C-alpha cells in the first residue's frame, strides 16, 4: 500500500477509537435502542471531528508560515535573556523566515479531510436520530 493511504487509514482508525471512547463516556453500549445508538454515535463522531479538524487546520495554517513570527519572537526573547551569560548574535526576521521555509514540511491536509468526514457522519447520525424519535 502507498504511504499516504496507510496514513489516512491510521488516522481513520485513531478517530474511530476516539469516537468510541467519547460515545462510551456518554453511555454507549451495544444493547441500547437505535435512537440512543445514533445519539451517542453522533456525539462521539462530533468530538472526533472537532479534534481532527482542529489539528488539521492548525497544521494547514502552520505550513504557510503564519506562526513563524511567534517562534521568532520567543527565540529572540530567550536569546536576549541568555545573552547575559554568553555572546548573542541577532538574526533578522527575513533570514529566519527563509531558514524556516527551507525546513518546513507539507501540511497534513488528510487530517482535516478525515475530520470533515467524521463531522459528516455525526450530522448524518443526528439527522437519523431526529427522524426516528
Please give the pLDDT value at position 62.
Answer: 86
Please give the pLDDT value at position 64.
Answer: 87
Please give the pLDDT value at position 127.
Answer: 96
User: Which residue shows C-alpha cell 471531528?
Assistant: 49
pLDDT digits (tens, 9 = 90+) for 52-87: 999 999 999 888 888 888 888 887 888 777 755 565
DSSP-based three-state secondary structure for 127:
helix
Consecutive 10-residue averages of pLDDT for the chain (133 residues): 88 96 92 93 97 94 87 81 63 85 83 96 96 88
Phi, psi dihedral angles at 32 (to 5 degrees): -75, 155
Please give the pLDDT value at position 106.
Answer: 78
Cell numbers standing for residue 26: 456518554
Amino acid at each position: 500500500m502507498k504511504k499516504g493511504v496507510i496514513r489516512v487509514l491510521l488516522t481513520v482508525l485513531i478517530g474511530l477509537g476516539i469516537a468510541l471512547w467519547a460515545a462510551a463516556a456518554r453511555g454507549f453500549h451495544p444493547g441500547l435502542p437505535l435512537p440512543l445508538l445514533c445519539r451517542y454515535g453522533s456525539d462521539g463522531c462530533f468530538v472526533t471531528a472537532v479534534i481532527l479538524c482542529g489539528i488539521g487546520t492548525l497544521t494547514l495554517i502552520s505550513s504557510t508560515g503564519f506562526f513563524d513570527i511567534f517562534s521568532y519572537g520567543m527565540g529572540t526573547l530567550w536569546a536576549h535573556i541568555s545573552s547575559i551569560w554568553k555572546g548573542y548574535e541577532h538574526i533578522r526576521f527575513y533570514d529566519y523566515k527563509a531558514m524556516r521555509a527551507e525546513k518546513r514540511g507539507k501540511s497534513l491536509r488528510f487530517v482535516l479531510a478525515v475530520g470533515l468526514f467524521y463531522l459528516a457522519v455525526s450530522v448524518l447520525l443526528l439527522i437519523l436520530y431526529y427522524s426516528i424519535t
